[in-house]
Amino acid sequence: MERPHAPRPATLGHIAQAGLLFFILVAVAVQLLRGDLDWREAPLSFYLLDAYGHWLQAAYVVLAIALCVLGAGYYRALDARQRSAAPWLLFTAAGLGLCVTALAHSNLPGRAPTLEGFVHGVAAQAAFLCVTVAALLQSWRLRVDPRWRPRFASAFGLALAGFAAIWVDALWHGMPRGLEQRLVIALILAWLLLAASWLRRYRLA
C-alpha cells in the first residue's frame, strides 16, 4: 500500500526533470564561459576546477539528487508486485559517485597524480557504470508492467546504447577525449530526460 503523503510519481518526475535541465544548462554555460579550455579535448572534470567550477559542482549535486528522485519515482510508479529496488539503489549510488566526483579534484596533465585524483577517477567511472546499469535494469522492469510495457523497447534500446558507449569510451580512444566523453554523457542524459518526461505524465490508477 502506498503511503498517503508520499510524493506522487508525477511530482517526482517533475523534480527529476528540473534537476536534469539545471545540470545541462549550467554545464553548457560553464563550457561556453571557459574559453581557455577546448571542449573537444578537455573532459568535463577539468571544468570543475578554477573559474565557474563551483557552479558546475553545484550542478553535479543537483544531478545526483535528480537521479535519486527518478529512481524513487519509478519504484513507486511500477506495480508493487513487479517493482525492484535495485535500479533505485543504483541511481542513488551513481548520485553518490557524482558528489565525490564534484568535490575531489581530478589529475591534470603535466602534474604528478594524486590520491585525490585517483578517488575522482574511480568515483566518476563508478557513477557512469551505476547509472547505465540502473537505466538498463529499470528499462527491463518496464516490460513486466502492462502500463509501461509499450515504452520498454525505446527505453531499453537507449539504455543499451548508453551502456555500450561507456565501454567504447573506456576501451577505444579514436576521437578527442572531451568529445568522446560528451557523446556518452549525451546518451545517458537522453535516457534520463525521456524517463523523467514519461514519469511526469504518469497518473496512479
Q: What is the pLDDT of residues 102-158, one digit of tens each?
A: 999 999 888 899 999 999 999 999 999 999 999 999 999 999 999 999 999 999 999
**pLDDT recorded at residue 202:** 84
Q: Does the structure show a pLDDT above 80 at 69?
A: yes
Asked if the structure places residue 2 within a domain, the reply is no
Whole-number Å distance between alpha carbons of 28 and 56: 10
Mean pLDDT, rounded, for 68-77: 96
Which pLDDT belongs to residue 180?
93
What is the number of domains present in the chain?
1
9-57 confidence digits (pLDDT tens): 999 999 999 999 999 999 999 999 999 999 999 999 999 998 899 999 9
The pTM of the full predicted model, rounded to 2 decimals, is: 0.93
Residue 52 lies in a domain: yes
For 22, the domain range is 9-200
pLDDT confidence band for 1 (50 / 70 / 90)? very low
Backbone angles phi, psi at 148, to 5 degrees: -110, -10
Task: Establish if 13 belongs to a structural domain.
Answer: yes
List, in order, residues 6 or more apart from 197 with CB less than 8 Å away. 13, 17
Asked whether the beta carbons of 130 and 92 are under 8 A apart, the reply is no
The pLDDT assigned to 103 comes to 96
In this structure, is residue 92 part of a structural domain?
A: yes
The lowest-confidence range among 87-91, 110-114, 200-204 is: 200-204
Domain assignment present for residue 1? The answer is: no
Q: What is the pLDDT of residues 147-188, one digit of tens each?
A: 999 999 999 999 999 999 999 988 888 889 999 999 999 999
The answer to the question of residue 134 being in a domain is yes
Count CB neighbours of 113 within 10 A. 10
Please report whether residue 101 resides in a domain. Answer: yes
How far is the C-alpha of 34 from the C-alpha of 48, rounded, in Å?
11
